[in-house]
Amino acid sequence: MVEVTIDPTTRIEGHHGTTLEVEDGQVVEANSQMKMFRGAEIITIGRTPRDAAQITGMVCGVCFLCHRLCSSKAAEDAAMNAGAFDGPPRNAVLLRDAAEGIFYLWNHAIHLFALVGPDYSDAVADTGFDRLDPLEGEGYQGALENQRQLMKALTEFGGRAPHPVGYIPGGLATNPDASTIEQVKSRVREVSEWLGPTEAVPEVLENVQNGEFDPDLGEGLHDVVSILVGAAELGAADIGAGPNRYYSNGIFEDPETEELFLPRGVYRDGEVELLSKAEIVEGITEDTEYSWYTDESGGPPTEAQPPEPDLDKDEAYSWGKAPRFDGQSMEVGPLARLVIADLDPFDLRDTLGGGATESNTLNRLIARAQETLVVRDQVLEWLDAIDPADPFMADFPDEFTGEGVGLFEPSRGALSHYVDVEAGTIERYQIITPTLWNIGPRDGDGQPSILEEAVVGDPVEDVEHPLGVMRTIRSFDPCLACAVHVRSPDADYETVIEPAQPGLDGGVGSCPIGDAPVSDHE
Amino acid sequence: MSLPEPESVSQASEADGSRGPSSSRRNFLQLAAGAAAGTIITQYSTEIGVALEQATDGDLEVVWLQGQACTGCTISVLQGQYPTLEEVLSEFRLEVTFHPTIMPEAGEVAIDAMSDSPDVLIVEGSIPVDIPEAATVGQTPDGESKPLVDWVQELAPESEYVLAVGNCASFGGWPAAENKRNLYDLGANVTGARGLQFEQRTERGVLGPDFTSGAGLPVINLAGCPVHPDYVLLTIATVLNGHVPELDAYNRPKPFYEPLVHDNCPLRGYFDRGEFAETPGDEGCLIKIGCAGPYTRCDDQTRLWNDGTSVCLNVGSPCIGCMEPGFWDRFAPMGEEVERQSLFGSITAEQAGWAGVAAAGVGIGAHAVRKATGYGSFDGDEDAEAAAEASPESSAEPTDGDTED
C-alpha cells in the first residue's frame, strides 16, 4: 500500500485535496478533501433575503451568476409561499435563461481551453493542439479573447463581471432597452461565429483525425474537437467511471409553460425519472460523518442547522459535506443534464466516449462541448423573446415570513439554496453546491463521493505519475480550492506525486494516462 | 490606532533616493488619474508595455497566492484588455511562478516552482487566523496541510512588492462580515478572516501595521469585490517602473481610489433634483435603496468595467461599497439607506437633494453643499474629512466585526 500526496491541484477553482491509497498498481481508495471554509451560511443568517443574494453571489467569482440567481429564486419562493409575491415577470425569466446560457458558454470555454486542455496537449499536437499552448497558442488566446465578449454580454445587464450587481431578487435592477439587448445578442453571435457551425461537427472531427485544420469550419470547434479526440486517444473513456447515477435540477424555464429546456430528474438503474421540485427537495440529505462539522450540521437541508465547525473529529478530512439523494451519491453536471434530457448530439458520447450514458472522464468533456452547441442558439431565442416594453422587475417587501427553496442548474451541476425568513430576517440558510455532489467526502455508510468512486481502479503503475487521477479530478470542473493526497496507512512509504506538467519549458508537454514516463514530445 | 499618513509613505520612500522617478519613465498612475474616462489604458498601452519591458530586464518572479478566495479577482484580471493578461505574461516576461488557477503544474512541482523571494507577491482572498486550517495549500515538512497565514508570513518579508488584490486580501472582505447571531461561539468574524495589513478599518492584518516589503512600501491595497483589472496591471507597471504610488490612508493608490463614486455618478442629476427611486428598477437616485456611493472611493464611474462596457450604477444597481474597508456591514442591509455620518447631524436624502438644488440656485459651491450635507470629501479640507471618516473607529478600540457605523 502506497500513499501519495498531490497538493495543490491546480487549474481548478479553489482549494481541494485527495488522498489516494495505491495497491498493486491501482487506486484502491481515495479521500477527496475540500480545504477551505469561510462560513457563508453562518454569515447570511440575520440578514435580509436581498443581502443573501448579494453575499452568496460572491461566494464564487467563477460561478458568480448562478449563486446570485439561485438565492434570488429561493427568496422569491419564500415570498411566494408567504403570499407576498406573485413571481418574477416574464422578461426576468427569459433574461435569467439567457444570462445563465451565456454563462454556460463562458464556463465551458474556460474549462475546456484553459483548465483541462493542457492535460491533453501532447496527444493531439499532430492534430493542431499546439494551438492550445497555454501561453502562445492561437486557439488558447482566441478563447481568452472570446470569453471577454461573453463577460461583456453579462455586463450589459449586470454592470460588471465577475460579480455583476444588476441581477436581483424580483428580476433585473434596470430596464434594458432594445439596443442593449441587441448589443448582447451581437456579442453572443460573435462568439458563436468563432465557435463555428454546429452541423460541421462530423467534418471537423474527420479533419482533426486526419490532422487537417480548416478555419472556415470554426476555429473554436476545431480546438474543442481536438481536445476530445486527444483525450479519447489517451484512453480518457476508460478512466474515471462513476456509478452511472445522475441528478439534475433542470434549467431554462419557458416563462409561459414553466417547462424546462433541460429537464429535472434523476437517472439510475438505466432509467430516467423526471421528478417534481417537491420530489427533489424531499430526496436530499447531507451527511457530516467525515466532515469537519458537528453531527447536528447534517440531515435534510430544509431542517439542518448551518454547518458548525468541529476540527477535532478524528475521521474527518473535508470542509465539504456529503449530499445524497435517496441515500445515494449522484453525479451532477453537463453529462448528468444531457443523460436526463436524452441528448447525445452527433452520437459523440456513444462513439467516442464508450456509450451515451456512461460516466467517465471523457464523457464529461464531451458533454461540455455538446452542451455549448445545444445552448448557444437558444440564448439568442430567449433574448429575442424579451419585450423591452414589459417590466423586468417585480419587487416584493422584505418583511414576510416564509420558507423557500431555489433549485438551479449552473454549468457545473445541481445547485440548491434553502432559506427560512422570519419577519424579513433570515433565520436559516443552506447551500448545496454541484462540487459537493461530485467531490465531497464519503458518508456515514462508507459510501464514497462520485470522485472518490471514480478514481478507484484507476491504473497507477508509477505512484509518482497518477496522471489519470488528475485528469479525472479536472473533468468534474470542480469549483473550490484544491489539493490531492495519496498516503500510506502503514506509513512505510510516502512520496509526493509529480503530475502532468504540460506547458513546462514553454511548450506542450506530454501526459499519458497511465504511468508511462513523460515523453519528450517537444 | 493610527493610520499611516499617505504623505509620509511616499515622502519617506522618495527621500532615500532609491525609488525616485526617472525622467525617462512616466508614472502611469498619475497618467491614469489625469486621463479621460476609460481611455488611459488604450492610449498608453504601448508605453505601459515599454515600461514593463524596461523594468523587467530579465524575468520577474511573481507569486500569486489565494487565501479564502473566490477566484473572482483572478477572473476579473483575465478581463483586462490593454494589456491583456496573456500579453503581460508572455510579452512582458512577467514570470508567474505560482498561480493556483492558471499554472500548468500541480502538486509538489507547483510548490517547488514557487519563488521564495518573489519580485511581486500578489495575494487574493482573506487569511483566516482564528481557524488557520480554513485555508491551506501544500504541505509542511511533517505532511500537514500548510495554512495560508504561514505562507504569507514567510513570503511577504522576502518580496520586493506585496499587492493585496481585492477587498478580501485588503480588508477581510465578506468572509470577515459579521456573524450576526454569534453562532457556535465563533466570534463576530467566523474564521478570523483578515486582510494582509487591515481587518476592515483597523490595522489588524496578518502582517501587522509596521510591515514593509523589500522596496520599503506597505502592502499596496487594490480593493474591490472584485478588483478592477486596470488597477492590478497599472500598479504593477508603476512599481516596476521605479515609481512610488501615492497611497491613501488605507494604502490604496490615490489615482484609482480618490474619486468619490457619488461625485461622478451617472444618476447624480436625479440626486440634485431630489428624485429618488423607492424600489429597485425605479428611475431616480438610488440613495434611498442603499447606495453607498457617497462613502465609496474609486474611479470606476469613469473607467467603467469590462473594457468600458458598463458600471453598477448604469444598470440601476446601488453602489455596494465594495472598494471600501468595512465593506458588507458598513453598508448593510444593502437595500436600505446607508446611515449618514454627517459633521452636522443626520440628514435625509430629500434634504440632501434639495440642498443641492438650492445650492445651484443661489450659487453655493459644491464644496459647501457637500459639507452641509455631510457627503464626500472636500478638497483642501482633509482634516475635516479625516475627522468625519475616522471618528467612529478612532474613538474606541476596534471590535470583531467592525460594525460601528
Residues B54, B151 within the same domain: yes
Which residue range(s) make up the domain with A86? Answer: 41-447
- At residue A256, does pLDDT exceed 50? yes
In which band, very low, low, confident or very high, does the pLDDT at A508 lie, cut at 50, 70 and 90? very low
In which band, very low, low, confident or very high, does the pLDDT at A7 lie, cut at 50, 70 and 90? low
Of B255, B289, B312, the last residue of a domain is: B255
Number of domains present in the structure of chain A = 1
**pLDDT higher at B79 or B362:** B79
Query: What are the backbone dihedrals phi and psi of residue B124, each rounded to the nearest 5 degrees, phi first?
Result: -120, 130
**pLDDT higher at B348 or A246:** A246
Average pLDDT over residues A87-108: 97
The predicted complex's ipTM stands at 0.88
The CA-to-CA distance between both ends of chain A, in Å, stands at 35
A147: which chain B residues are within 8 Å (Cβ-Cβ)? 78
pLDDT digits (tens, 9 = 90+) for A164-217: 999 999 999 999 999 999 999 999 999 999 999 999 999 999 999 998 889 999
Decide if A6 is inside a domain. Answer: no
Most confident of A41-50, A365-374, A470-479, B109-118: A365-374
Write out residues 366-385 of A within 8 Å (CB-CB) of B. Answer: none
Residues B222, B345 within the same domain: no
Decide if B2 is inside a domain. Answer: no
Of the candidates B226, B228, B238, B376, the one whose C-alpha atom is nearest the C-alpha of residue B303 is B228
Write out residues 279-338 of A within 8 Å (CB-CB) of B. Answer: 292, 306, 308-309, 311, 319
Residue B218 has what pLDDT?
A: 97
Locus of grid cell 436625479: B270
Please write down the HEC assignment for all residues of A425-476. EEEEEEEECHHHHHHCCCCCCCCCCHHHHHCCCCECCCCCCCHHHHHHHHHC
**pLDDT higher at B401 or B86:** B86
- At residue A155, does pLDDT exceed 70? yes
- At residue B390, does pLDDT exceed 60? no
* CA A321 vs CA A139, A225, A293: distances in Å: 38, 35, 8
Residues B66, B131 within the same domain: yes
Name the grid cell of B373: 450635507
In which band, very low, low, confident or very high, does the pLDDT at B53 lie, cut at 50, 70 and 90? low
Residues B274, B365 within the same domain: no
- Minimal Cβ distance to B334: which of A54, A136, A319: A54
Is B312 annotated in a binding site? The answer is no
Of B285, B316, B338, the last residue of a domain is: B338
Decide if A455 is inside a domain. Answer: no
Residue A266, number of CB atoms within 10 A of its CB = 25
Number of domains present in the structure of chain B = 3
Residues B308, B345 within the same domain: no
Of the candidates A251, A250, A256, the one whose C-alpha atom is nearest the C-alpha of residue A91 is A256
Residues B270, B364 within the same domain: no
Amino acid identity, position A111: H
B107: which chain A residues are within 8 Å (Cβ-Cβ)? 5-9, 484, 496-499
Name the grid cell of B165: 488584490
Decide if A24 is inside a domain. Answer: no
Percent of chain A at pLDDT > 70 equals 88
Q: Where are the alpha helices (DSSP H) in B241-381?
A: 254-257, 268-273, 300-303, 349-362, 366-373
Residue B30 has what pLDDT?
A: 55
Q: How far is A311 from chain B (nearest CA, A)?
A: 9
- At residue A470, does pLDDT exceed 70? yes
Residues B47, B144 within the same domain: yes
Is A70 annotated in a binding site? The answer is no
Does B226 contact A at CB distance below 8 Å? yes
Residue of B304, B317, B320, B400 to mutate for A, most A C-beta atoms under 10 A: B317
**pLDDT higher at A276 or B18:** A276
B280: which chain A residues are within 8 Å (Cβ-Cβ)? 168, 170, 173, 393, 395
Residue B56 has what pLDDT?
A: 59
Residue B359 has what pLDDT?
A: 40
- At residue A82, does pLDDT exceed 90? yes
* CA B141 vs CA A496, B38, B138, B145, B324: distances in Å: 11, 48, 10, 10, 38
Decide if B300 is inside a domain. Answer: yes
Residues B276, B349 within the same domain: no
Q: Does A8 sit behind a cis peptide bond, omega within 30 degrees of 0 on the bond before it?
A: yes
Which residue range(s) make up the domain with B164? Answer: 7-255
Q: How far apart are the C-alpha atoms of B347 and B336, rounded to whole Å? A: 15
Decide if A483 is inside a domain. Answer: no
Pairing of strands A26-34, B60-66: unpaired
- At residue A117, does pLDDT exceed 60? yes
Decide if A26 is inside a domain. Answer: no
Average pLDDT of every residue of chain B: 75
pLDDT digits (tens, 9 = 90+) for B249-294: 999 998 889 899 999 999 999 999 999 999 888 999 999 999 999 9
Of the candidates B202, B204, B222, the one whose C-alpha atom is nearest the C-alpha of residue B129 is B204
Residues B51, B115 within the same domain: yes
pLDDT digits (tens, 9 = 90+) for B123-139: 999 999 999 999 998 88
**pLDDT higher at B244 or A55:** A55
A149: which chain B residues are within 8 Å (Cβ-Cβ)? none
Average pLDDT of every residue of chain A: 87
Q: Which residue of A has its CA nearest to B140?
A: A7
Check which CATH number belongs to the domain holding A425 and give it.
Answer: 1.10.645.10
Locus of grid cell 462520485: A450
Q: Which residue of A has its CA nearest to B184?
A: A308
Decide if A150 is inside a domain. Answer: yes
Q: Which residue of A has its CA nearest to B191?
A: A38
Check which CATH number belongs to the domain holding B17 and give it.
Answer: 3.40.50.700
- Minimal Cβ distance to A36: which of B85, B134, B322: B134
Q: Flag the least confident range among A19-23, A340-344, B196-200.
A: A19-23
Residue A480 has what pLDDT?
A: 66
Average pLDDT over residues B228-243: 83
Q: How far is A59 from chain B (nearest CA, A)?
A: 6
Residues B183, B198 within the same domain: yes
- Minimal Cβ distance to B90: which of A135, A158, A393: A135
Locus of grid cell 500569486: B64
Of the candidates B84, B77, B49, the one whose C-alpha atom is nearest the C-alpha of residue B241 is B49
Most confident of A221-235, B48-62, B235-249: A221-235
Does A59 contact B at CB distance below 8 Å? yes
Residues B287, B388 within the same domain: no
Asked whether the beta carbons of residue B104 and residue A136 sit closer than 8 angstroms, the reply is: no
Decide if B144 is inside a domain. Answer: yes
Average pLDDT over residues B379-396: 37
Residue A20 has what pLDDT?
A: 86
Residues B167, B88 within the same domain: yes
Is A163 annotated in a binding site? The answer is no
Q: pTM here?
A: 0.85
CB B63 within 8 A of CB B98: yes
Residue B107 has what pLDDT?
A: 72
Of B317, B338, B359, the last residue of a domain is: B338
Asked whether the beta carbons of residue B316 and residue A166 sit closer than 8 angstroms, the reply is: yes
Most confident of A7-21, A269-283, A474-488, B142-156: A269-283
Residue B3 has what pLDDT?
A: 30
pLDDT digits (tens, 9 = 90+) for B318-360: 999 999 999 989 999 988 888 764 434 444 555 554 444 334 3
- Minimal Cβ distance to B75: which of A162, A165, A501: A162
Q: How far is B364 from chain A (nearest CA, A)?
A: 33
**pLDDT higher at A183 or B31:** A183
Asked whether the beta carbons of residue B306 and residue A393 sit closer than 8 angstroms, the reply is: no
